[in-house]
């Protein structure tokens, strides 16, 4: 059974810092991994999608890596801004089930 864990659960940083959010999963048989952002009371916005054959994806200040063998993904945010404050969710699409399994999320606060 696939389980997804995100560490830390919450993070507070001053503006301008580079930061890393961690995601681990128990079953390496994944189809893809997707990082989402959720603002309070809002829906999920897709940030980056990494296919199982890929090692990383980049979009602007965001970089996501994937290491299937160790069951880990990281989301790197460069030069953080107050507008980056949100909950970041890691979700794994398990190959066999077609289900998207979510982690509990990391709530990020970037202070001005």
Q: Which residues bind other proteins (CB under 8 A)?
A: 31-32, 34, 36, 41-44, 46, 49, 51, 87, 89, 91, 93, 97-102, 104-105
Nearer to other proteins, 43 or 112 (CB): 43
Q: Are 5 and 72 in contact (CB under 8 A)?
A: no
Q: Are 8 and 108 in contact (CB under 8 A)?
A: no
Whole-angstrom distance, CA of residue 18 vs CA of residue 101:
27
Nearer to other proteins, 17 or 42 (CB): 42
| Least Å from the CB of residue 79 to other proteins | 26
């Amino acid at each position: 059974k696939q389980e997804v864990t995100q560490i830390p659960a919450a993070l507070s940083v001053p503006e301008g810092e580079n930061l890393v959010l961690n995601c681990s999963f128990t079953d390496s048989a994944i189809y893809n991994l997707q990082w989402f952002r959720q603002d309070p009371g809002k829906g999920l916005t897709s940030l980056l999608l990494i296919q199982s054959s890929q090692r990383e994806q980049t979009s602007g200040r965001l970089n996501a890596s994937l290491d299937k063998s160790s069951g880990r993904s990281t989301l790197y945010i460069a030069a953080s801004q107050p507008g980056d404050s949100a909950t970041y969710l890691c979700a794994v699409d398990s190959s066999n089930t077609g289900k998207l399994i979510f982690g509990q999320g990391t709530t990020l606060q970037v202070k001005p």
